[in-house]
Structure 1
C-alpha cells in the first residue's frame, strides 16, 4: 500500500513524533510505501516531504495516489484540514493524542486551544480513530465525535531496564527526577514546592534532583520562574542539595538519570497518555503523580496517586516514598526486586512487539489489506 502520513512536525523529544516514527518504521518493514508530509522533520530515517501548506500536500502525486492516509492530532495545525479532501479511494485514519485544556495553559494559548477543539470535528471525515488511551476516547466522545474508534497505547522502547541496585543503596543520596515540559499543566513549581517540604522535614537527608525539560516546547515565563526557584533552593539547602535544570537532554542522558533516580515525581494536571510514567517504572523508580486524566490507568496501580493540586499531600507522598526507598525492606529484603518485577509485567502491555502487532493488525483490517 501507499500510505501518506500527515502531521505538523516530526521532532526529537516529542511523543507524537516518536509514535509517527515508530509506526512508519513498522509499516515500511511490513512492505508498504510510506511518506510523511510535514513542515519539518528531524529524523533521517523517516521518508519525508517538506511542505509549506495544505496545497503542497493536496496536489502531491504520492498523496493523490495513496491507499491510506494517517493523520495524528494533538493540537490545531492547518494540515489537519486536509482530512476531508483525502482522495475518495483512500481510507482515512486519525490518531488522537488529546488536547490540553486551556485551564492548564497561559492565556496566550487559549485561542489555539479553542481552535484545536473546534478542529476535532474534522474527525467526522475519518473512517476510524485510534485513541492512545481510554481517557482520550472519553474526550473524543464528550466532544460529540462518533467515528468508530479503537484504544491502542503508545509503544515504550524496551532498552529501559531497572538496574540491579540504585546508586543511593551505596551512597545514601536520594535522587529525585522530574521529566516534562515547563508548562503549567506539568506542575514544575508544585514539584519544587514539595521538594522543599521534603528537605525541611528531613534536615540531614542529602538529595540530588534533576528537572529534565524540553525547553523548545516550554512556557518562557515559567522557565524563568523555575530557574529562579532552582537558584533559591540551591542557596537555601546548599550543603545537601544538588538541584539541576537539564534542558533538552539527550536520550542517553535522560535514560541515565532515570536509571539513577529513586523517585520520579510528576504533579501533572492533564495527560492523554504520559510516556515518562512508564519510563520511570521501567527504570525502577518509585512514582508519585497527581490522580487525574490518564495517570491512574497508565501507572497500573504502581504509583502513589495524590489529589490533584494538593501540594501538601504531594510533599507527604514524597516523604513516604523516600522512606520506602531508604528502608532495609526495600534495599536488602526484596522490596526493590518485587517492585521492578511488577513494573516489568505491567510494561509488557506497552512493549514494541505487542503494540506493533496490534497496530499492524488494525491497519490491515481498516484498509482491507491482506498479507
Structure 2
C-alpha cells in the first residue's frame, strides 16, 4: 500500500515524534510505501517531504495515490485540516495523543489550546481513531466524537533485561531523574520545591538530580529556575546535592541516567500516556508522580502516587523513597525483586507488540473493516 503520514513535526526528544518514527519504520518494514509530510523532520531514517502548508501536499503524487492517510494529533496544526481533502479513495486514520487542558499551561498558550480542542472535531472525518490510552479515548468521547475508535498503546523502548544494581547502592548517593519538557504542566517547580524540602528536612541526604528536557519546547523561566538551583544548591547544602540539566539529550544518555537512577519523579498535572514512566520502570527506577489523568493507569500499581498539586505530600513521598533507597533490606533483596517485577510490567509495552497491532489496524482501516 501507499501510505501518507501527516503531522507538524517529527523531532528528537518528543513523544509524538518518536511514535511517528516508530509507525513509519514499522509500516515501511512491512513492505508499504510510506512518506511523512511535515514542517520539520529530525529523524534521518524517516522518509519525508518538508512542506510549508497543505498546498504543498495536495498535488503530491504519493499523497494522491495513497490508500490510507494517517494523521497524528495532539495539538493544533494547520496540516490537520487536510483530513477533509484526502483523496476520495483513501481511508483516514487519526492517532490521538490527547491535548493538555489550558488550566495547566500559561496564558500565552490558551488560544492554541482552544484551537486544539476545536480542531479535535476533525476526527469526525476519520474512518477510525487510535487513542494512546483509555484516558485519551474518554477525552475523545467526552468531546462528542462518535467516530469508531479504540486504544493502541504507544511502544516503549526499555531495557533489554532487568537492572541488576544501582550505583547508589555502593556510594550512598540517591539519584533522582526527571524527563519531560520544563513547562508548568510537568510540575518542574513542584519538583524543585519538594527536593529542597527533603534536603532541609534530612541533613544526611545525598542527592543527585538529573533533568532531561527538550529545551526548544520548554519555558525559559523554568529553565532558568533549574539552572539557578544547579548553581545555588551545592553551596547552600554543603555539596550534598548536584543538579544537572541535560538539554536535548540523546537517547543513550537518557537510558544511562535511568539505568543509574534510583527514583523517577514526575509531578505532572496531565498525561495522555507518559512513556517516561514505563521507561523508568523498565530501568528499575522507583516512581513518584501525581495521581491524575493517565498516570495511575500507566504506572500499573508500581508508582507512589501523590495528590496532584500537594507539594508537601510530594516532598514526603520523595523523602520516603530516599530512605528506602538507602536501606540495607532494599539493597540486599528488595531492589532485585522490584526491578524484575517492574521490568516484566514495562515489557507489556514492548515495540514488537505495538508494531503487530499497528500493522493489523492499518490493514483493517484500509480494507474498511476496523472494529469499533
Check whether the contact 1:161–1:284 (CA below 8 A) recurs between aligned residues. no
Alignment partner, residue 268 of structure 2? 268
Alignment partner, residue 112 of structure 1? 112
Alignment partner, residue 354 of structure 2? 355
Provide, for residues 47-68 of structure 1, a one-character-per-residue CA deviation record: whole Å limited to 9, x for no partner: 1111110111111111111000
5+ long unaligned stretches in structure 2: none
> What secondary structure is seen at the aligned counterpart in 2 of 1:71?
strand
Alignment partner, residue 328 of structure 1? 328
Distance 2:261 2:126 in 1: 42
Check whether the contact 1:3–1:68 (CA below 8 A) recurs between aligned residues. yes
Alignment partner, residue 164 of structure 2? 164
Structure possessing the higher relative contact order (Cα contacts under 8 Å, 6 or more residues apart): 2
Alignment partner, residue 280 of structure 1? 280
Matches within 5 A, 1:186-201: 186-201=186-201
Q: Normalised by the size of structure 2, how large is the TM-score? A: 0.96
Check whether the contact 2:284–2:343 (CA below 8 A) recurs between aligned residues. no
Per-residue deviation, 1:231: 2.9
Alignment partner, residue 56 of structure 2? 56
Matches within 5 A, 1:234-253: 234-253=234-253
Distance 1:160 1:208 in 2: 25
Identify the range of structure 1 (184-193 vs 223-232) with the bigger mean alpha-carbon deviation. Answer: 223-232
Distance 2:61 2:360 in 1: 27
Alignment partner, residue 336 of structure 2? 337
Per-residue deviation, 1:362: 1.1
Provide, for residues 235-281 of structure 1, a one-character-per-residue CA deviation record: whole Å limited to 9, x for no partner: 31132111112211111111111111111101000000111101110
Distance 2:17 2:244 in 1: 27
Distance 2:317 2:242 in 1: 21
Alignment partner, residue 365 of structure 2? 366
5+ long unaligned stretches in structure 1: none
Distance 2:72 2:12 in 1: 16
Distance 1:197 1:14 in 2: 30
> What secondary structure is seen at the aligned counterpart in 2 of 1:34?
strand
Check whether the contact 1:2–1:33 (CA below 8 A) recurs between aligned residues. yes
Q: 1:158 to 1:369 in 2, by over 3 A?
A: farther
Alignment partner, residue 40 of structure 1? 40
